[in-house]
Amino acid sequence: MSEVSNQHWHFAIVGAGLSGACLALLLARQQSQWNILLIDTQSHAAEPDHRASALSASTVDVLQTMGLWRDLATSTAAITRIDVSDRGHIGSASLEASEQALSAFGHVVENAQLATVFAQALPAFPNITRIKASAPPLLKPRQGGMGFLLEQGECQADLVVLAGGEQRPLAQQLGISYRRHDYQRVALVANLVMAEAHNGLAHERFTGDGAIALLPLPGKGDKRVSLVWTLAAERAEELQGANAEDFIHSLNHQLGSRAGAALEVDYRQCFPVKKIIAAEQVRSHLLLLGNAAHSMHPVAGQGFNLSVRDMAALTEVLSKAYCDGVQSGDLAVLQDYVKLRKDDQGRAIALSDKLPKLFGMDETLAMAARNLGLITLDLLPPLRQGFARFGAGLMARRAQLRE
């Protein structure tokens, strides 16, 4: 028997992406007695992640509690204002963090930087073992735990967590189905250098057949921004392959004067835009997390933030069960977690679904609705407050974590 197969694992987390690594850290610091196996299933050939994420105030709060914010803060840019506009139409809305009594709506960090901070924090926890697997484990539900077969041998954990989109096939092998919607759009991601400093301003611009988000990044005199351009697959492919000058020209044409002019672009990467929601998030000794549980349209920047709120709540629920002498894979405990997270997940998925539908249509009625929506949002403080608080993740219950 290998060192991995002869141990009792409280948790085996399959997938060491953003969600998997973050959960390992949350659990490890919550209960030092928990023995956690983090199984990294990413192949060496995987393309590096060039995205940046807008971390909501609720995510920053969790990272602060975990003691990771100190290392991250200098690599982030604060979003202090959001400008929402619609190309070619009068409606627009401008949201100020200070107006909502917030110092920032959120902070933008490059995913690679976030992954590095997580990876550097892992070795500080002797109760986390990180291993590399060349193939995903074979799951075997057993009495009293979940079995899984690795090249290191047969193992068992009280709870196996499938973390990240790459793990969906494992869930499907167990008969868990997914509800899918393909928006027939691709998110083209790149970092830009703008003519002017962003001053903490993020832009969300609807273009008739998609959306452009510009998120402030640190560095280069605050002129760097992260672009997420949602558009039809064919056009995205053309733009990905275009030379930098043509790309900048096409982009600036869509941005208009509100968002300023882009001067430089770096590596461009495309992501298909789909909503993929698991029909079940838990079974006895099994839990789906992050993109394995819910993957949504990136327009509202909800995906990772929602997962962090899931992970904080999960950690709280599991910790309480542990203190009460109940095993972590107990179905009733896992169902308590699902109940606790149902409303917040439902809201985030609905918002991410409705925004692109409303702004993706060019019919007169939809145009009127979205212009009216933006004007209303601009004029009515309670509506603005609700939108801003939801975006900042402040409408969900705050989980009780070990300080």
Ligand X SMILES: Cc1cc2nc3c(=O)[nH]c(=O)nc-3n(C[C@H](O)[C@H](O)[C@H](O)COP(=O)(O)OP(=O)(O)OC[C@H]3O[C@@H](n4cnc5c(N)ncnc54)[C@H](O)[C@@H]3O)c2cc1C
Residue with Cβ nearer ligand X (255 or 321): 255
Residue with Cβ nearer ligand X (13 or 333): 13
Residue with Cβ nearer ligand X (163 or 401): 163
Tokens of 88: 């070619």
Binding site for ligand X (CB under 6 A): 15-20, 40, 42, 46, 49, 51, 53-54, 115, 163-166, 187, 189, 228, 271, 290-291, 298, 301-305, 307
The nearest distance, CB 379 to ligand X, in angstroms, is 27
**Distance in angstroms (rounded) separating the CA atoms of residues 100 and 385:** 6
Contact 65, 401 (CB under 8 A): yes
Helices (H), 98-232: 111-121, 168-173
The nearest distance, CB 212 to ligand X, in angstroms, is 12
Classify each residue of 245-264 as buried b or exposed e, where b means 16 or more C-beta atoms within 10 Å of its C-beta: eebbeebbeebeeebbebee
The nearest distance, CB 89 to ligand X, in angstroms, is 25
Residue with Cβ nearer ligand X (271 or 284): 271
Residues 6 or more apart in contact with residue 338 via CB below 8 angstroms = 281, 282
Tokens of 143: 């009495």
The nearest distance, CB 68 to ligand X, in angstroms, is 16
Q: Which residue is nearest to ligand X (CB)?
A: 290
The nearest distance, CB 380 to ligand X, in angstroms, is 26
Residue with Cβ nearer ligand X (49 or 71): 49
Residue with Cβ nearer ligand X (146 or 273): 273
Contact 358, 370 (CB under 8 A): yes
Contact 293, 310 (CB under 8 A): yes
The nearest distance, CB 287 to ligand X, in angstroms, is 13
